[in-house]
Copies of this chain bind each other. A is one copy, B any other.
Amino acid sequence: MQKVVMIGAGNLATQLSLALHEHGIEILQVYSKTVESAKALAGKLDCSFTISVKKIEKNADLYVFAVSDKALPSVLDEILVPIGNVVHTAGSLPADIFENYAENYGVFYPLQTFSKERKVEFSNIPICIESNSMKLRTDLIELAGQISKSVHLINSEQRKQLHLAAVFTCNFTNHMYSIGQKLLAEKDVDYELLKPLILETAQKALQLDPVSAQTGPAVRFDEEIMNSHEKALKHSPVFQKLYRFVSESIYKMHKGK
């Protein structure tokens, strides 16, 4: 599995193809809808690019579809000739979305948050593998093992749940950081002050069980502080409602323990 075509040039496609490239796997070609993205990524990989589905190379060992869930079906529909081994990198799409398009298909899902401007160390990233073909499954495990030491066979149902858990753990968490930053800006306090807390909260969850490690007014059910916080949020009704709602959820989870 030495020649890969990367379909997509977004955050995940960029970081994944750079990691593969660094480990000696040849990215034959990059496809993207937009010239800018295709060109930018192909430049980093020193390979060719195309913005026409019809011009996608036919002789690759693996086609990695790293486009948004919305875009995937339309790209597939444009590919008229049957292609070889195909995988997608999506958390919530089943593997058999490829059923009518390829004989051997699967999933290569790196569980991480990717931004174009931040390089991530792939070696710790869990890569979740699934395939309808035993041969492709073995090849994917080997490929994943070249860039990460955390490779897992995960079925579509489990992967979907992982994606859902990741939305809470990553996207929602990041939104909490954004709210914290916004609140501090209102009172002219530097966001820098929150950074050691952000890091320690994460590091703590790697060492302790997060349910037992929970601190703060909600788990103590300190109504006085919670009421005073809600009052302080009266000019931000969305954050106020969110404050009450997450606090209640914390309290319920701990009462249920």
Contacts and interface: CB of A to CB of B under 8 A. Distances in A.
Interface of A: 11, 68-70, 92, 111-115, 117-118, 120, 124-126, 150, 152, 154, 157-158, 160-184, 186-189, 193-211, 213-220, 222, 224-225, 228-229, 232-233, 238-239, 241-243, 245-246, 248-250, 252-253
A179 B175 CA distance: 15
How many subunits of this chain does the assembly comprise? 2
A150 B241 CA distance: 33
Nearest to A230: B164
The binding surface of chain A is classed by DSSP as: helix
A204 B121 CA distance: 12
Contacts of A208: 115, 117-118
A249 to B, nearest CB: 5
B175 A161 contact: no
A61 B255 CA distance: 41
B194 A198 contact: no
A232 B162 CA distance: 12
22 contacts: A68-B220, A69-B224, A111-B196, A112-B197, A112-B200, A113-B204, A124-B196, A126-B193, A126-B196, A160-B232, A161-B186, A166-B197, A168-B179, A169-B177, A170-B215, A171-B216, A171-B250, A175-B246, A178-B214, A179-B249, A238-B249, A242-B246
A86 to B, nearest CB: 21
Contacts of A250: 171-172, 175
Contacts of A160: 228, 232
Nearest to A196: B124
Given A120-B200, A175-B218, 5 more contacts: A92-B228, A152-B193, A165-B181, A170-B197, A177-B205
A160 B186 CA distance: 12
A95 to B, nearest CB: 15
A115 B213 contact: yes
B245 A174 contact: no
Contacts of A213: 115, 118, 174
Contacts of A214: 171, 174-175, 178
Contact of A210 (B167, B177, B219, B245): B177
A213 B184 CA distance: 18
A16 to B, nearest CB: 14
B171 A243 contact: no
Contact of A189 (B161, B195, B239): B161
